[in-house]
A and B are shown apart, each in its own frame.
Chain A
Amino acid sequence: MRRLIFLLPLLLFVAHNATAQFVTSGAISYERKVNLPRQYDDEVPEWMKRNMPKVQATSFALAFTEAKSSYMPDKENNQASGQWLAPGQDNSVYQDYRGKTITASKQVYEQRFIIRDSARRLTWRILKEERTIAGYQCRKAVTRICDSVYVVAFYAYDIPVSGGPEQFGGLPGMILELAVPRLYATWVATKVESKALGDGDIKPVSGKGKTVNRTQMMREISGSAAAKGKMGIKALWWNSL
């Protein structure tokens, strides 16, 4: 009898969970936090660094279905924060998961690039650590970009869409937290909204710019003054995201 009583709630629990809902479309709000003074190293005098906001937060919105996603700045939630702007403030990315292609828009100094390329293939290591982000159980994974720049991601088991902030993806679930320690930057999902979205709700990257692929863009940047110095290296990393 005791055993039966014990089993009863368990059965209810099971019955409930066998119909558990995975989130296959919806909207995610990310808060990107960047340590501003750390972006500048020696190029900017110490007193100037002291005067800038230490952390700059920017909101990005990701709308996704199983087929595609769009990642763009959440302009309504972003406060213009004066003269010091962290890189990549208005990056937007459109990912097509079926066609495995990416369209991204980046402003690099005076030039806007429209990058059209295939989805990036990164080798991820899956680590044991788990973390709850915006109410979702997430698993830690790490990878490297630009040979040596570590990227840490936490992906949600319950969102079976292989996307995430910027051009990241390729994990078994949606990336809800991303950290690039060498850029002193983190992206953390503050809200995940499960809602039905049609393909029409996901807007492709808009605006005019120079259409390139990733390699072409990196070539253009690394050949310019933008890539000079320690700041230049960071600029390359930023633009590889």
Chain B
Amino acid sequence: MAPACPSTLEPSHGEDAIMRANRQPVIVGAYESPLRHAPGVHPFDLHADVVSKALVDAGLLPDDVDGFATAAGDFAEGGAFTDLLDVVDYLGLHPTYVDSTDIGGASYLAHAARAASAIERGEAEVVVISYAAVPRWWPIASPYWDGLTQPAGLGQWEIPYSPTLVSSFGLVAQRHMHEFGTKPEHLARIAVSCRQSASRNPHARYRSPITVDDVLTSPMIASPLHRLDCCVVTDGGGAVVITTAERARDCRGEAVQILGTGSALSSLRLSELPQRMVSPAATSGATAFARAGLKPSDVDVAQIYDAFTITVLLSLEDLGFCAKGEVGNFIDSGAIDFGGPLPINTDGGGLSSNHGGRRGMYALIEGVRQLRGTSPGQSVANCEVALVHGIGGIFSAGVTLLLGKGL
């Protein structure tokens, strides 16, 4: 019998080709909680709920799980320093492959990318990635949620000026407007498009359609971002199950291929924003496209992290859907409008459906659902390739996944 590790075989060996194809990582289970408000529910109970339902979706059992990843140390996530241990203990799992990479909102996409590689190398068989948060009722404060860093080290030069999450992104939006003539209407149109998708999603927090004018007349939180430029706040959770293509044959859930992944890190510092007006998405996107052998025009649907309209706007450029500085024209052409040529955030996104503090998991699940044809929101016909992009910090991290239909 051939060795289990493909890397020990000769490249031209036929059996090796079969082994590698069979170890190709696929997402075989996905579940997002329909809840948007969970008063009195501990986030670990939500982990237990979404993990068990994702496993049911996959047709696998907890005993089949040998890998687990989460990040649960942020506000309302229930964990402290050893958050992975906390969650694994509560779930009663005993994984031998583990990951708790914390790069903000993109963390769960990084977990998926690492798990895919580990599975391909034979270091894990069935990996579960899970997320849950209850920001709407959690009473334990996190001291750094608004400024992101401690007022020490490099943070001592920024935190005394009271930066907030919204104003930190406002700095980026303001500069983009100055450099490229981007208008508040362009940002607003992104929110309008997401809300239209949300109107189709029975679980979305906000479903009534809005206009560009509604966005621009909503209260200014930190210029140039209005309330409707900002994501919703919801309780909830979601989980995915990743395994090999070989194992997926015996699974219940329709398998979705992980075609390519890329990740990149940059700075958290606001004084370094001039260096990241081209965000990490430019690197993570290029890497993911190269590994998948695809280009932006191959993408049928894009789930782009929408904590704020500006996170989508900048990512559209940096992922290569349009040239740098051209996103205003791109949006003016109707490209990201509901029903337009590039469907985005088709479940309503963070801007209208759900956002517990980190949205990577929800974006990933919606990408999977679009390829399976099971989205609760706007369903994209003939969906073969889905892009999922997550952001951490203030454009401080980027992780891009390209997913493909079936096997």
Physical interaction between A and B: no
Interface residues of B (CB under 8 A from A): none
Interface residues of A (CB under 8 A from B): none
